[in-house]
Amino acid sequence: MGNADNVYPDKNVERAHRVAIPPPQPFLKSFTASMKETFFPDDPLRQFKNQPPSRKLILGLQYVLPILEWAPRYSLQFLKADLIAGITIASLAIPQGISYAKLANLPPILGLCESPEKLLTASMLGNVVNANENPTLYLHLAFTATFVAGVLQASLGILRLGFIVDFLSHATIVGFMAGAATVVCLQQLKGILGLEHFTHGTDLISVMRSVITQTHKWRWESALLGCCFLFYLLLARYFSKKRSNLFWISAMAPLTSVFFGSLLVYLTHAENHGVQVIGQLKKGINPLSITHLAFGSPYISTAIKTGIVTGVIALAEGIAVGRSFAMFKNYHIDGNKEMIAIGMMNIAGSCTSCYLTTGPFSRSAVNFNAGCKTAMSNVVMAIAVMITLLFLTPLFHYTPLVVLSSIIIAAMLGLIDYEAAIHLWHVDKFDFMVCMGAYVGVVFGSVEIGLVVAVGLSLLRVLLFVARPRTMVLGNIPDSVIYRSVDQYPNANNVPGFLILEMNAPIYFANSSYLRERISRWIDEEEDRLKSSGETSLQYVVLDMGAVGNIDTSGISMFEELKKSTERRGLKLVLANPGGEVMKKLNKSKFIDSLGQEWIYLTVGEAVGACNFMLHTSKPKPVAADSESGSDNV
């Protein structure tokens, strides 16, 4: 059994330490501390402590407006880097924006204002309002959904409820984005094949049925042009990935595709031979749309639902992107501030003819690789987009829609992270199931179905973790007082007369009955094993509670029942390493008085050593009887 008895080298010492019970705290103070940790784990006010009023005012303004923090340190070198980065991302944002507006069934010119969560907006609103038959109502509902999303996002940040987004796990996002990208790529077959009529459904079966039943309407000219530009875009991305200093090739590829595509159509008059073009685009800044928010529409419920779903997804994506690049740059971002910023941006956008946006990974990556230093690069991009709106929109007249479809497909293929799915399969099969559930739900059902399936599976896993926590048998590592799982450490020895169990979760009403039954089964199995092998009979059941962070009244009742059950079997229940919150509740419930504080120890090693000492002194055994097993050393 190793050297567990070394905990008590002096046999005259009954025990080394007693487990302390935390001093009682007023309920209001305890509740306030718990709420503060839940909603303010980052303690955003810590920087204001011990500061004079003037400094607090400056810090407060910098907290709300980060530009006030970095603007005083801005330099000419920063401006040069931000100027290059801003122009680079503008070259990507302009053609992508027009493409995404087309994807969301909105006027192409709106795409120059923002980049939306395109698929969600198109699919959810498109189920109730046809964008071609009633474009005005569809547009107003899109603005309303954007407003709802912005209010939701800002509210989550203000109320410090950002942890809700954490329920969208990494596996959920991987599967959801891959499914959405697959559906988007399939829908672009309309543009690639030059079809004028297409299904409004987003599922795979509807899309393929629409494509196959219109084979006689396929336009080979459009298909050839689309395949050529798609090959060019993918080739540009390939070279950019091979060498990071060539990032600009991929960044400029959409704009060059638009340029050469428009030039080719203009010179060959391809618009007269089945190649569809954007056509006339109105110049000028888009008008205010605050009066177009359709709160009185009979479809307001759909707009609200669309705003909530798209807002949460956009928020999860934006924060994930921000955290990714914060890791690269070694700085910290405040998730709640990000939510407020994204939300206020969408509220303002909904009132100025824009629709849902977030921080897309593609543009963030281009901005990062282009060497941006501050947010000024986004200002440069905005100025470039504004110049395009005011003066350059006629240049997009001959832009073929098939080129926009190619740009969308190339962008969407980057969202199908098959390597992440393979990694999930190797690491965690359940996470892989969540990922595939989201993917299959989106591809064969709808965006809503995929999201519900993925979140449902994720919540099911959380419930399984809570309701069925793991318990494991511990053994003594030879020549130490360390106790570890006998499954993980095959060399760990069972201690004669002891069953040592570790519980790895808080004990609540959801798992207390299971834990009581599981511990009883462990005891039955151990007694059967000892009887069959003829070893020393079981005398102590030691529960390692180091991982039990909290307990409720159902858990306390479980311990009371377990104590009675072990006593009926002639066994003694021993607790090791209980946390402060657990000790406080066990003490208030009088369970400690019932069990006896002498049966609660700081560590498993101390518990085994003390019990062995009491066993040795109360029931001495002849040395010869146990000399072979080495138990005479205890």
Are 146 and 140 spatial neighbours (Cβ–Cβ below 8 Å)?
no
Instruction: Provide the token pair at 244.
Output: 């990071």
pLDDT the model gives residue 363: 64
In a domain, 20, yes or no: no
Helix (H, G, I), strand (E, B) or coil at 344: helix
Based on the fold, state whether residues 182 and 103 are members of the same structural domain. Answer: yes
List, in sequence order, every beta strand (DSSP E) within 466-532.
471-476, 483-485, 498-503
In a domain, residue 54? The reply is no
pLDDT value, residue 222 = 84
Burial class (CB in 10 A: 0-12, 13-18, 19+), 150: buried
Contact 545, 579 (CB under 8 A): yes
User: Is residue 252 in some structural domain?
Assistant: yes
Contacts of 161 (CB under 8 A, 6+ apart): 39, 155
Q: Which residues contact 493 (CB under 8 A, 6 or more apart)?
A: 1, 2, 475, 476, 478
CA distance 442 to 447: 5
pLDDT value at position 310?
82
Measured between alpha carbons, how far is residue 610 from residues 46, 282, 615, 622 in Å? 45, 85, 8, 20
User: How many whole angstroms separate alpha carbon 203 and alpha carbon 375?
Assistant: 39
Overall domain count for the chain: 2
The CA-atom distances, in angstroms, between 435 and each of 1, 163, 177, 451, 631 are 45, 21, 10, 10, 52
Together in a domain, 359 and 479: no
pLDDT of residue 626: 39
Q: What is the pLDDT of residue 112?
A: 53
Quick one: tokens of 141? 């509902």
Encoded amino acid at 283, one letter: K
Same domain as 443, residue 405: yes
- Pairing relation of β-strands 471-476 and 483-485? antiparallel
- CA-nearest of 385, 452, 346 to 124 is 452
218 and 353 in a single domain? The answer is: yes
385 and 479 fall within a common domain: no
Domain identity same for 190 and 155: yes
DSSP strand E in 558-599: where?
Answer: 572-576
Q: Token pair for residue 79? A: 């401006």
pLDDT per residue over 149-173, tens digit each? Answer: 999 988 888 887 766 666 677 788 7
Specify the 3-state DSSP secondary structure of 263.
helix
Structure tokens at 18: 């007693």
Co-location of 240 and 132 in the same domain: yes
**SS3 (DSSP) at 474:** strand
Q: Verify that 330 and 442 share a domain, yes or no.
A: yes
The residue from 445, 461, 477 where one domain ends is: 461
Give the pLDDT score at 578.
92
The helix (H) or strand (E) run that includes residue 543 is strand 540-544
pTM, whole model, 2 decimals?
0.68
Question: What whole-number distance in Å separates Cα of residue 623 and Cα of residue 634?
Answer: 11
Assess whether 473 and 455 both reside in one domain: no
Q: Mark which of 461, 483, 509 sits at the end of a domain.
A: 461
Q: Domain with 560 in it: what CATH number?
A: 3.30.750.24
| Residue ranges for the chain with pLDDT beneath 50 | 1-14, 115-116, 620-634
Residue 82 within a domain: yes
Residue 110 is predicted with a pLDDT of 64
The boundaries of the domain holding residue 340 are 75-461
Asked if residue 287 belongs to a domain, the reply is: yes
Q: Which two tokens stand for residue 336?
A: 């709640």
**Residue 68 placed within a domain:** no
445 shares its domain with 574: no
Query: Does the residue 58 lie in any domain?
Result: no
Spatial distance between the Cα atoms of 343 and 79, rounded to a whole number of angstroms: 28
Taking a C-beta distance cutoff of 8 angstroms, is the pair 409, 188 a contact?
yes
Which one of 438, 461, 484 terminates a domain?
461
Structure tokens belonging to residue 489:
């450490």
Q: Is 452 found in the same domain as 474? A: no
Cα–Cα distance measured from residue 577 to residue 583, given in angstroms and rounded to the nearest whole number: 10
477 & 598 share domain: yes
Strand 498-503 and strand 600-601: the pairing is unpaired
Q: Is residue 489 part of a domain?
A: yes
